[in-house]
Structure 1
Amino acid sequence: MGELVYGLLGRKLGHSWSVPIHTALGCAGYRLIELEPEELPAFLAREDIGGLNVTIPYKMDVMPLCDKIDDRAAAIGSVNTIVRRDGKLLAFNTDADGFCFMARRAGVDFHGGKVLVLGSGGASRTAVACARQLGAREVVVISRSGPDNYENLSRHADADIVVNTTPVGMYPGNGAAPVDLTAFPRCRGVLDVIYNPHRTALLLQAQALGIPCSDGLAMLVAQAKAAEEHFFSRSIPDGETERILSALRHETENIVLIGMPGCGKSTIGAALAALTGREAVDIDAEIERRAGCPIPEIFARGGETEFRALERQATAEAGKRTGCILLTGGGAVKTPENYGALRQNGRIYHLLREVGTLPTDGRPLSQGADLAAMWRERKPLYERFRDTVIDNNGPAEETAQAIWRDFCAYSGD
Structure 2
Amino acid sequence: MKRGLIGYPLGHSYSKPIHEKLGGYPFEIVELHPDNFDSFMKEKNFVSINVTIPYKQQIIPYLDELDEKAKKIGAVNTVINQDGKLIGYNTDYYGFWWMLNHHKVMIENKKVAILGNGGATQAVKVVIEDMGAKEIIIVSRKSSDESISYEELYKQHNDIEVLINATPVGMSPKHDASPIELENFKHLESVVDIVYNPLRTKLMIDAEKLNLQTVGGLEMLVAQAKQAVEIFVDKTLSDQDIENVHHMIKSKKENLVFIGMPSSGKTTIAKILSEELDLPFVDLDEEIVRKSGKTIKEIFAESGEDKFREIEAECVLDHCMDEGRVISCGGGVIKNSKNIEHLKKKGYLIWIDRDLEFLKSDQNRPLCKDDETMKRLYLERYPIYKEAADCRIENNNSVEEIVNKIRTHLESRKTK
Tell me the residue number matched to 2:285.
284
- Alignment deviations for residues 365-384 of structure 1 (CA, whole Å, 9 cap, x no partner): 12256212221221212222
Q: Give the letter aligned to residue 377 of structure 1.
A: E
Partners of 2:330 and 2:49 lie apart in 1 by 45
Q: Give the letter aligned to residue 162 of structure 1.
A: L
Tell me the residue number matched to 1:136.
133
- From 366, 369, 376, give the equivalent of 2:368: 366
Deviation, structure 1 residue 309: 2.3
The within-5 A match list for 1:3-152 is 5-147=2-144, 148-152=148-152
1:256·1:346 contact (CA, 8 Å) conserved in 2?
A: yes
Q: Give the letter aligned to residue 80 of structure 1.
A: N
- Alignment deviations for residues 267-306 of structure 1 (CA, whole Å, 9 cap, x no partner): 2222112211111111122223333433223223331112
The within-5 A match list for 1:12-411 is 12-147=9-144, 148-153=148-153, 154-353=155-354, 355=356, 356-368=358-370, 370-410=373-413
Partners of 1:352 and 1:143 lie apart in 2 by 45
Partners of 1:213 and 1:370 lie apart in 2 by 38
Partners of 1:74 and 1:127 lie apart in 2 by 14
Deviation, structure 1 residue 69: 2.1
- Alignment deviations for residues 372-403 of structure 1 (CA, whole Å, 9 cap, x no partner): 22212212122222233334454434433332
Deviation, structure 1 residue 96: 0.7
How has the CA–CA distance of structure 1 residues 295 and 412 changed in structure 2, closer, same or farther, with 3 Å as cutoff? farther
How has the CA–CA distance of structure 1 residues 260 and 243 changed in structure 2, closer, same or farther, with 3 Å as cutoff? same
Partners of 2:339 and 2:373 lie apart in 1 by 25
Partners of 1:339 and 1:411 lie apart in 2 by 23
Q: Point out the more displaced range, 46-55 or 272-281.
A: 46-55
How has the CA–CA distance of structure 1 residues 349 and 78 changed in structure 2, closer, same or farther, with 3 Å as cutoff? same
Partners of 1:299 and 1:272 lie apart in 2 by 30
Q: Give the letter aligned to residue 197 of structure 1.
A: P
Deviation, structure 1 residue 171: 1.6
Deviation, structure 1 residue 411: 5.9
Q: Give the letter aligned to residue 41 of structure 1.
A: D
What is the SS of the residue equivalent to 2:93?
helix
How has the CA–CA distance of structure 1 residues 301 and 223 changed in structure 2, closer, same or farther, with 3 Å as cutoff? same
Q: Give the letter aligned to residue 245 of structure 1.
A: H
Deviation, structure 1 residue 354: 5.2
What is the SS of the residue equivalent to 1:370?
helix
Q: Point out the more displaced range, 390-399 or 10-19.
A: 390-399
1:169·1:200 contact (CA, 8 Å) conserved in 2?
A: yes
Provide the TM-score with structure 2 as the length reference. 0.92
What is the SS of the residue equivalent to 2:183?
helix
Deviation, structure 1 residue 412: 9.1
2:257·2:328 contact (CA, 8 Å) conserved in 1?
A: yes
Partners of 1:107 and 1:119 lie apart in 2 by 23
Partners of 2:261 and 2:188 lie apart in 1 by 38
Partners of 2:140 and 2:75 lie apart in 1 by 17
State the identity %.
Answer: 36
- Alignment deviations for residues 298-334 of structure 1 (CA, whole Å, 9 cap, x no partner): 2233311122222223223422222211110011122
- Alignment deviations for residues 45-64 of structure 1 (CA, whole Å, 9 cap, x no partner): 34541110011111112111
1:114·1:139 contact (CA, 8 Å) conserved in 2?
A: yes
What is the SS of the residue equivalent to 1:255?
strand
What is the SS of the residue equivalent to 2:192?
strand
Partners of 1:35 and 1:379 lie apart in 2 by 50
Deviation, structure 1 residue 357: 4.8
Q: Give the letter aligned to residue 96 of structure 1.
A: Y
How has the CA–CA distance of structure 1 residues 361 and 28 changed in structure 2, closer, same or farther, with 3 Å as cutoff? farther
What is the SS of the residue equivalent to 2:109?
coil
What is the SS of the residue equivalent to 2:196?
coil
Q: Give the letter aligned to residue 388 of structure 1.
A: C
Q: Which consecutive residues of structure 1, in runs of 5 or more, have no partner in the other structure?
A: none
Partners of 2:163 and 2:365 lie apart in 1 by 45
Partners of 1:124 and 1:34 lie apart in 2 by 22
Alignment RMSD (CA, Å): 2.1
Provide the TM-score with structure 1 as the length reference. 0.92
What is the SS of the residue equivalent to 1:299?
helix
Deviation, structure 1 residue 239: 2.2
